[in-house]
Amino acid sequence: SKKRKRDVQPEENSEEQQQQQQRIIPESVVVPLRSSEKSAHKFTNDGKSTNDSDKRKWTNNSKKPARPQSNNQPSFSSLREKANALYTTRKTLPIFAHADEIRQQLKGNNNVMLLVGETGSGKSTQVPQFLADEAFCQPKKVKIINQEDGSTKKEITVGGCIAITQPRRVAAISLARRVAEEMGTPLGKSSPASRVGYSVRFDTSTSPSTKVKFLTDGMLLQEMLHDPWLTKYSVVVVDEVHERGVNVDLVLGFLRKILASKNEGRGGIPLKVIAMSATADMESLQDFFGHDRDQAKITSTDTSNQNTQDSQISVCHIKGRQFPVETIYSPEPVHDFLDAALKTIFTIHVKEPMPGDILVFLTGQETVENLENLINEYAIGIDPSLPKVLVLPLFAALPQAAQQRVFAPAPPRTRKIILATNIAETSVTVSGVRFVVDCGKAKMKQFRSRLGLDSLLVKPISKSAAIQRKGRAGREAPGKCYRLYTEADYLTLDETNTPEILRCDLSQSLLTMKARGVDDIMNFPFLTRPPREALEQALLQLLNIQALDETGKVSETGLHIAKLPLTPPLGRVLLEAAGHSQGCLLDVIDVISCLSVENIFLNINSEEKKEQAEQARRDLYRREGDHLTMLATVQGYAADNTDRKAWAERHMVSHRAMQSVMDVRKQLTTQCKNAKLLHESNENRPPCDALSAVPVLKSFLTGFGTNTARLVPDGSYRTIVGNQTVAIHPSSVLFGKRVEAILYNEFVFTNRSYARGVSAVQTDWVGEVLGR
Ligand code: CDP
């Protein structure tokens, strides 16, 4: 039969459901295990602590924590043994000496704290543990005005949980894993008694007793859609503020609004906010959070107003532990940084003693994978008496399991070579690194308002980023940093990163704000105010995809889109597809999953391989273009139930990328079910054929109507909006082809303007969408 069953996953609880569960759990179960640094040691095997205060906790609790359910889960006593062992390391972290100071500074009316400390000083892992047992971190029952009738009061539980936001998924997950180990508790949904969980786009792992939750800043914004007052949390820790990602800026703005409104929707229970940064520039944040307080002081003559009079913004500086790192610059400008990196890596490997892993900073998945291949090829020929090399890639789209390998210690007589994007700059700590190789560049989002879209451009990093990269070599011992650029070039770098809010497409941010009821965007408390032009572009884009109505208010469609873990255009596509048919929605989910990774195909470097690849992928390539080719690839890969790795190799498809695609596909399917877009009964669908291609492409047009170009008589393509010349990217299956009009997902600018992720469409379809 042509029909296939899709791999159906059990439904995961929505945030809302989890919240409900959280609220009905009695306190004694919410706080089952003593977690703070005082208690992590000296647990005997029967689970009793020799520490007095811990004993009190244990005996006070009539209920013992539930046992992990599954048999392959480690027992609580083995978890505790591990935690005890880790305690020795934790005690040596620079932040440990500040534990009491941090606790003290958040007591009473002090609700905001700024924490500065070098990467690796222990901020992200220790701060939540310092606070977990504090009185202000326990859930409290309060009565608030019932929003539905506006007069009666209803009882809700406020607080109890600590959120720590991260800019990246990989950091959120690896931190949660680490902190769970340190606290001696299972991780996330693996056990109902787990106290540490995480929530990242496409993957939430929490339990009813989650006390410490690592989540991406984007996920916290999502949670605010359901719970604008963040009633679940007692403390929100905003980490990596120095990176100034756009989501961090939004989170800070919303937090300031909650603080300024005296925690109205939290029954007056204050939300404590900690902003953490690896660089010392905290002045702007101090002004930012001090603003409302100062305003209140000026306007309030009521000296009894404790809330505004006594509250302070405390700043805590953690003295870092940094060994000296020698900087070695390239004597002359480098033209091919992959070649330079390869040479540098092997020079280090041959000349420098073990132990000492190498961390290489590159620009993106493509350069990481290219260098990975080069090193593996080169390593075959090296002197067998030398230690082995183990190459480990680390980039955002890498499947989780592969990301976690980076953190495991190297096998004996092996040097780890970690090839990372700027993900490893401050977000994650990889132990064992003594050598850093820095290419001096990073892929950065750059909003090109003329075109109205984001492009990813490879750009020189800032001095501050270069210093962070270098610092990674001196965490555990003196190290060396090889900069693949000259000292003169270093001196020309910008001092700090430009905040992302000044250089990215703001449509997602704007929709988040609108969906949260912020209509007056101009008066939102921005840490850095984005240019008016960028805001207007974003408004226009949201209008184009009908996420806003003519008055600029969020529409029904917009509200739906805001709740999806996708950019607004992709969210729009998904909704449109759901309106066509269930089969179309499933197809669109497959394509969107592919778009979440950089490239599903293996990189081809040589002409000879190119031909081989054409052959291998022949039955996947679709003349409709890249979207349908992606669809055919996912369907082919998913249909192979025997050996998907072999299938991928046969078709020269990246097995690694496809694993990520399958992760995302599973999560998106679940989300669509939760959002009632996908119905259980409709999971059998015929494979996509030429007929079903039309609704898929038409759906994409609703989100990407302005990303279209038509063929002009000279054979080139001109964008339909703006009349700019754009060429089909060589990676596209439509490269070199002439079709009436194209739709593309991404616009890349290298030496010329390229459209990537391209499909053939008809001009009248585009007219239909743009004319609406
Ligand atoms: O936040 P900050 O950069 O100040 O430090 P952290 O992330 O709390 O890391 C403190 C220490 O915990 C690191 O030096 C690592 O030794 C360890 N750690 C780890 O082993 N695995 C992780 N995923 C995170 C941290």
Residue 15 has pLDDT above 80, yes or no: no
Residue with tokens 């890639």: 393
For residue 177, which atom of ligand 1 is closest to its CA?
23
C-beta separation of 479 from 511 below 8 A: no
Region 446-458: mean pLDDT is 60
Q: Is the CB of 121 under 6 A from ligand 1?
A: yes
More confident residue, 52 or 210: 210
Q: Whose CA is nearest to atom 14 of ligand 1?
A: 120
Least confident interval from 72-76, 420-424, 661-665: 72-76
What three-state secondary structure class fits 342? helix
- In the beta sheet, which residues pair with residue 653? 601
pLDDT at 293: 65
Of 25-34, 60-69, 343-352, 611-620, give the range with the top mean pLDDT. Answer: 343-352
Tokens of 749: 């600018």
Tokens of 210: 């989650």
Alpha-carbon 31 to chain mean position: 28
Q: Is the CB of 403 under 6 A from ligand 1?
A: no
CA of 358 to the centre of ligand 1 (A): 18
Q: Is the CB of 431 under 6 A from ligand 1?
A: yes
Q: Starting at the edge strand that comes first in sequence, how are the strands of the sheet with 479-483 ordered? A: 325-329, 479-483, 433-438, 357-361, 414-420, 388-394
CA of 605 to the centre of ligand 1 (A): 37
Region 227-242: mean pLDDT is 95
Answer left, alpha or beta for residue 239, where phi above 0 means left and psi between -120 and 50 means alpha: beta
CA of 406 to the centre of ligand 1 (A): 14
The pTM (predicted TM-score) of the whole model is 0.77
Region 586-606: mean pLDDT is 87
Q: Which of 125, 279, 322 to mutate to test the pocket of ligand 1 (most atoms within 8 A of CB)?
A: 125
Q: Is the CB of 311 under 6 A from ligand 1?
A: no
- Tally Cβ neighbours within 10 Å of residue 100: 9
pLDDT at 49: 36
- In the beta sheet, which residues pair with residue 112? 273, 313
Radius of gyration of the chain (CA): 27
Answer left, alpha or beta for residue 244, where phi above 0 means left and psi between -120 and 50 means alpha: left
Cα distance between residue 105 and residue 546, in whole Å: 47
Region 285-293: mean pLDDT is 83
Residue 342 has pLDDT above 90, yes or no: yes
Least confident interval from 596-610, 664-678, 728-742: 596-610
Residue 37 has pLDDT above 50, yes or no: no
Helix (H), strand (E) at residue 155: strand 153-158
Cα distance between residue 387 and residue 7, in whole Å: 43
Residue 78 has pLDDT above 70, yes or no: yes
For residue 126, which atom of ligand 1 is closest to its CA?
8
What three-state secondary structure class fits 484? coil
- Tally Cβ neighbours within 10 Å of residue 237: 24
pLDDT band of 681, cuts 50, 70, 90 = low
pLDDT band of 455, cuts 50, 70, 90 = low
Q: Is the CB of 363 under 6 A from ligand 1?
A: no
Q: Is the CB of 179 under 6 A from ligand 1?
A: no
Q: Is the CB of 175 under 6 A from ligand 1?
A: yes
pLDDT at 389: 94
pLDDT in tens, 297-329: 554 444 444 444 445 788 999 987 778 999 999
pLDDT at 297: 54
Least confident interval from 245-249, 542-546, 746-750: 746-750
pLDDT at 744: 95
Nearest to 439 by CA among 568, 514, 333: 333
pLDDT band of 69, cuts 50, 70, 90 = very low
pLDDT in tens, 484-540: 999 999 999 998 888 989 988 899 999 999 998 888 888 899 999 998 888 888 898
With pLDDT > 70 as the criterion, what percentage of the chain qualifies?
Answer: 85
Secondary structure string (H, E, C) spanning 264-296: HHHCCCCCEEEEEECCCCCHHHHHHHHHHHHHH
